[in-house]
Structure formats: structure tokens, C-alpha cells
Amino acid sequence: MPDDNKFRSPFSFIRKLSFSWDVAAKVSILLGLSIALAAMFPLGLPIELEYEVGGIWAQKDLIAPFSFPIYRDEREYERDVEVARSRGYLVFERNSRIEAKQMDKVQGFSDLLNEILALRETAKEGSGEPDDSLRLAQLVSQLETSFAGDDWVLLDRLYANGRLTSLFERLTQIARKCWEVGIIDRPKSSFQGREIAIRRGRDEEIVRVERLYDPSDMREILEADLRTAHRNDDDVIGIGYRIGVRFIEPNILYSQSETEAAIAAEVGTVPRTLGFVQQNERIVGKHERITDEIRLKLESFRRAKADRGGEENFPAQFIGIVLHVLIIVMLYAIYIAFFRKRIFANNGRLVLIALLILVQGALAFCTRELDVELPVEYLIMVPVTSMLLTIMFDSRVAFYGTVITAFIVAGIRGNDYSVALASLVAGALSVYTVRDIRNRTQIFRSMGFIFLGYAVTILALALERFESVAVVLTQLSLAFVNALISPVLTYGLLIFFERAFSVTTDLTLIELSHFNHPLLRQLAEKAPGTYHHSMTIASLAEPAAVAIGANGILARVGAYFHDIGKMLKPTYFVENQRGSRSRHDKLAPRMSSLIIQAHVKDGVALAREHRLPAEVVDFIPMHHGTTRVEYFYNKALKGAEDSDGGSRIEEIKEQDYRYPGPKPQTKETGILMLADTIEATVRAMDDHSPQKIEAAIDDMIKKRFAEGELDECPLTLKDLTKIKEAFLRVLLGVYHARVKYPKEQESQRSEIVKTPSDSQEVGG
């Protein structure tokens, strides 16, 4: 005999593998969030010390276990460093080699030009050698300054009358005069009147830049001197200016390395510390008020401990921070795992929660890193996370999430108790303002409560710490900005998260409950009886759900859409039939059962086509569960029994007449199953007295309970009692007794009262 376990083992392995992947995903989310948040904590510093200027040291006396320097306030030190930087001199070097080099270039240029002009003069007289033309061309090509035809004519004239030599002598005198004063290699306007250091070898001279020449001054001096020497002979001045500009270069050059060294030396004179705390000296005593001086000692102690620990302790400290964060996050994870199993089973929802917490951690990190004087910690928008968790899940998930987020934010801020308390109070108030949200504009009512939470906390801490009015007003201002932005941001992110993570909120359900939804309009047009039946079921399901603490809006919307599959073949369902004849009269029971059962599959397809949320789609198959289509099953049994004495009864399989399921998995779908059955039963009754209605409700609840259809949903016996009471109140209101008039009584006596048949169940 084959071993069945052999054939089942691959499927068992697949189930185990799927389970393993699910657990791995949850662990990855938990560890990933913890490590990401831990990376934002202040590393290298111990985090056990909590203090704030003006506060009271509530711990025992803190005694220095070793000697350490008292470091100055970082901002004050940076300001002094900037002053020192501005005080440092820019260093230039006087380069005498440039003067000699450029003088050699001028002399070489003069000699070359004289040789060229001599050859030109010889060529004009016709007494030159045959190779002179080639020689002349070669020499001209060596000139570093090009001349046009008119320039050569002028140069020939200056050479002939001996004035070219005097021109070069004049240029040499101008260059030496400028170099003697000093020509710097950048505009003087860029120095803003500062003094600079000019070095020549080991000698250094501090000079004001106004005493020096820059390239612009040099050009002006060159032009003015040439005009004086050559009596406004523009042609000679032009030639001389072009030659002079080419060869007179700056001889005082900026030294980047020497300047940086000089500034570093100046910065080095700024004191980094204010003194020392000796070993066994008291840093702060118990109940002592924390002053600025004590704050510096505490910060210096933290820094000294980190320095003494060295790099070798960094991995251990980071592991400690990860464990610290993991403990906090695990508390939240445990709560969700035990009390919100549906959220815990959905990894997408867990990623969403982790993302919301991570964003707040990132905001806290940014506010800690920003070097500003404002109390930007009050711009950490914890209420956004609180409101989103409330709207997308529920108020308890949101409140626990707010507590966890406040702890995380405080830790990243360096154990900032103030921001933890303020975030917790404001976040908790925002949770209660949106716990029963019915429209999106209601979010904006949270502004006042968020600001109230921040304001009360800020004022309480300010009175405790003797804060100044200016500080309190600044904190309140930023808290007010937070209160204004948080609801707006919540509104925008809510739309994004609903789409990105397929989250169904009460706001989404309320929008679906509007009767202008395309599916509901089609249902009213094509299957008016089913539409009326759905509305009646909704009036039963919603108060029952509210009575047991389930989601009333979800129950109502699920009731609206639970039978939308009937609109494809509406006349096959009793509530939509007109006249006494049924379309099932000519069909075999098995075919009728298939048509009835098909409305579930058709309804699911329609719902997904119109992108209804998964939570609403679940109502379509679950409200029937795995119940039998009793009427056609009994009809099939009766037909088989009548045809040949019962021999064909064994051929009728009960499973063929059962809905495919699944059974209800939630309280809301369980309520709808009961409401659907009870509404049909009560509608078919002749006697609508309170006693009969109550008995019918009891019987149907017991029947579904006995069949095991409610085994997979979390409804308790106490819940079933409350559901029964809610159903009874609604049905008594629908079928209340009314006064019958004489004519009506007479007409009723003449009517033939027909006993409702089992076809009432055809509508399923």
C-alpha cells in the first residue's frame, strides 16, 4: 500500500517554507527598524545622563572617577575660532627672482627687436645679404609680442632716431619702481582694507594693502609715466604700453599653504578648555540646580568617557544601542502580535508602521544635527504618526505607537525628556480627536488639540525650570507651526498610504457607503429586490457590530455589496422575481444550485473589477460560508426518492449543494451571515410578534453555531447575545404592530393566505 505521507510531504514542505519566509520577513522588519533607529542615536557618548540647564539634578552626587578637562561650549568656541580666522593674516611672498627674470626678458626682447630693425633698415638700403630675408622672418617669429604694419613703421622710425633705446630704459625704470613698492597678484578690492603679511626669506613685514600696487595700479602708472616721458605721443605710448604690460608682472605672490598655516596658528591660540575637574571632585550634587558651568562639566565628562573608551568600545556601544531600541520596539511588536493578530499577519502593514516610526526618528535626528538656536525639537511631528495609526488601524494601536515613538524620539535627541513628554501628550490628544472620524475635514479639528497638548507641556516644564518668557514664546510658536502642519501632512499621507499599502480606513468605507457608487446604482436598476434586501441587512448588521465593539461602518458597507453578484442573473433569485412562476421550475436542482452558488464568484469578480477593498470583498463569499442551498438540495432528494424509490439518493452529493466558503473570519462577516439568514427567515414569517421574532433569531443563531459556520470568526457567546438583542430591536422596529382599519380587516378575511415555501431561501 503506498505511503500517503510520501505524497503529502512536498506540500508540507511548501507550507513550512512559506511559514519560514513569513517569520523571516517579520524578523527582518524588526531588526531593520531597530538598526536604522540605532544608527541615529548619538554615538560615542554615554546616554545615561539626563540634564537640562535650569533643571534639578535628581540623581545621586556625581563624582569624577578620573581627571578631565572642561571643554568650552561648542558654539562659543566656534565663534572665537571664526574671529581668529578673520584675525589671521593672508601671507604673500616677495619673489625677487621674478624681477630678475623679467628684466632679462626685457633685455632679450630689446636685443631681438634691435636686430630685427637693423635687418629691416639694411633691406631698405639694398645692401643686405641674400639670406637676410629668411633670417628676418625667423627673428620676427621669435617675438613674444606681435606688431602690425603701422607698428613696424613706427619702430623703424624710433630705431633710426635712437629713441627706441630710451623707450626701453624708461620701461625698465617703471618696472623697477613698481617692483620696489610691490605688485600683488590679485585686486586690492578683494582684501577689504586688511593688512597682509609679506615674507622675504625669513623676514616678514605686515603691510596694509593700500601701500601696494595691484595689476590695475601698475597699468595706470605705466600709462601715466609714458605720457609724461613722451609728451602725449600716442603712437609711442601705445607701443611702450603693450611692451610694458607684457613684461611687468606681480612680484608679491599669495601663498595658500603659508596662509593656512598662519590661520591655523592663530586658531591654535583660541583656548579649547576652561579648566580641569580633578579625580574624586564632585561634578554635580543631588538636588543641585544645573547651571551653564555644570552643564559644561557634564558634557565634558561625557566626552572624556567616550575618549577614554576609544574606538575599541564602539562596536559594543552600538550593539548596546541596538538592544536598547530593540527592547522598545519589541514591546510594540508583542502588543500587536497578541492583541492585533490581523495586523501582525500582514507584513505590508508592519512595514507601514515601521516606516512611520522611522520617519519620526529621522526628524528627531535632523533636529539634533541642525546647528540653530531655535527649539526645533518641537517640529518633530509625532501627532502625524499618531493620527495615521488611528485612522488606518485603531486608537489603541495608535496610542501604544505614540508611546513607543516618543521614547525613540527622546533617545535620538539624547534622552530629551521634554520632547518625549510633549510628543506623548500632543500625540495622545490627536489620537482621541480622530478615533471616530467620519470625514476627512475632521482631521483639521485636531489642530487645536495638538497645540493644546504641546502648550500645556511647555508651560508646565517652563514653570518648573524657571524659563524666560522669550524662550517659552519661541517654543509655543514652533509648537503652533507643528499643530498647523501635522493635520495637513496627515491628510496628504493618508491618501498615499491608502493607495500604496492597500489600507482600508473608515474614511474609505464611508466613501463606499454613498449610494451613488456605480455598483450600487447598477444593483438598484438590475436587481431592485436584492438592493432592498441589502439595505435591510445593512440596517441589521451595523448596530449589531457596534454593540459588540466591531466596526459598524465595515459591517454596513459589506452588507451593501455582499450580493452584487446577483445582478448578472437577477430573475433567478426570489426577491427579484415577478409573478408566481420561477425560472427554476424548468431546471434540474443541480443546475439551479450552480446558478445560485455562481453569484458568489460573480460578485467577487465584480468587486475586484471595481477595486473594492479586500475587507469588503471578503463579505461576498463569507456571508454564506459553507452552508447548503437547502431548497434545491431537498428538492433533489425528493426528486430522487420519487423517481425510483430512493435508489438514486446516494448519487446526490451534499458537497455539490454547498457554497465553497470560506467561513466567516471576522466578527463583521459573522454578523452579516447571521443578519442575512435571520432577515430572510423573519420576512417569510406570517406572525411578526416579538415572541416569534425572538424565537426565530434564537433558532437561526443556534443553527449556524451548531453547523460550525462561526467556528473561524472571533465571536463569543457573549457577543452572540448582544447581536441577538441588536437584531431584535431593529426587527421589532421594522415589523411593529399597527392598527388595522375595518376595510383592511374585511379584505384580509377574503384573502387566501399562502404559506411561504422554501423558495424564500432561493435568494440565498
pLDDT tens readout for residues 441-468: 677 788 999 999 999 999 999 998 888 8
* DSSP line for 221-235: HHHHHHHHHTTT-HH
Residue 740 pLDDT > 70, yes or no?
no
Q: Which fold has domain 520-644+653-763?
A: Hypothetical protein af1432 (1.10.3210)
**pLDDT exceeds 80 at position 742:** no
User: How many angstroms separate the CA atoms of 715 and 719, rounded?
Assistant: 6
Distance set, CA 584 to CA 571, 591, 592, 758 (Å): 10, 9, 6, 13
592 touches 573 (CB < 8 A): no
For the chain, the structural domain boundaries read 92-188+215-247, 340-503, 520-644+653-763
Residue type, 255: S
| Max mean pLDDT range (139-148, 237-246, 707-716) | 707-716
For residue 197, what pLDDT is reported?
81
pLDDT of residue 125: 62
Question: Buried b vs exposed e over 664-674: b needs ≥16 C-beta within 10 Å?
Answer: bebbbbbbbbb
Sequential DSSP letters for 591-617:
HHHHHHHHHHHHHHHHHHHTT--HHHH
Q: What is the mean pLDDT of the chain?
A: 82
Does the pLDDT at position 733 exceed 90? no
Asked whether the predicted pLDDT for residue 28 surpasses 50, the reply is: yes
| pLDDT at res. 338 | 92
SS3 107: helix
Report for 127-136, 202-211, 269-278, 483-492: range of highest mean pLDDT: 483-492
Report, as an integer, the average pLDDT of 253-282: 83
**What is the number of other CB atoms lying within 10 angstroms of the CB of residue 159?**
18
- Residue 475's alpha-carbon distances to 366, 411, 468, 487, in angstroms, are 17, 20, 11, 19
**pLDDT > 70: what percent of the chain?**
86
pLDDT band of 44, cuts 50, 70, 90? low
The helix (run of H) or strand (run of E) holding residue 72 is none
- Grade residue 556 by pLDDT with cuts at 50, 70 and 90: very high
Q: What is the length of the chain?
A: 764
pLDDT above 50 for 275:
yes
Task: Evaluate if residue 176 carries a pLDDT over 80.
Answer: yes
Q: Is the pLDDT of residue 745 over 70?
A: no
593/640 Cα distance (integer angstroms): 16
**Among the listed residues 166, 146, 164, the one whose alpha carbon sits nearest the alpha carbon of residue 156:** 164
Please tell me the predicted confidence (pLDDT) of residue 1: 40
Query: Closest Cα partner for 389 from 353, 363, 361, 354?
Result: 353
CA pair distance 445, 555, nearest whole angstrom? 27
User: Residue 647: CB partners within 8 Å, gap ≥ 6?
Assistant: none
* Residue 186: Cβ within 10 Å count: 16
Give the pLDDT of residue 126: 62
- Identify which of 218-227, 303-312, 346-355 has the greatest average pLDDT: 346-355
When pLDDT is cut at 50, 70 and 90, the band that residue 738 belongs to is low
**Pairing outcome for strands 282-284 and 62-63:** antiparallel
Instruction: Yes or no: say if 459 and 435 are a contact pair by the CB < 8 Å rule.
Output: no
Whether 318 shows a pLDDT value over 90: the answer reads: no
Joined together, the cell numbers standing for residue 626 give 459553507
Q: What is the pTM of this model?
A: 0.60
The one-letter code for the residue type at 246 is R
**pLDDT on residue 656:** 83
Contacts of 138 (CB under 8 A, 6+ apart): none
Q: How many CB atoms lie within 10 A of CB 631?
A: 23
Fold of 340-503: Arp2/3 complex 21 kDa subunit ARPC3 (1.10.1760)
Which string of b and e fits 220-233 if b means at least 16 CB within 10 Å? ebbbebbbebbeeb
Q: What share of the chain is helix, strand, coil (3-state, %, to 5)?
A: 70, 5, 25
Rounded CA separation 251/248 (Å): 9
d(CA 669, CA 615): 9
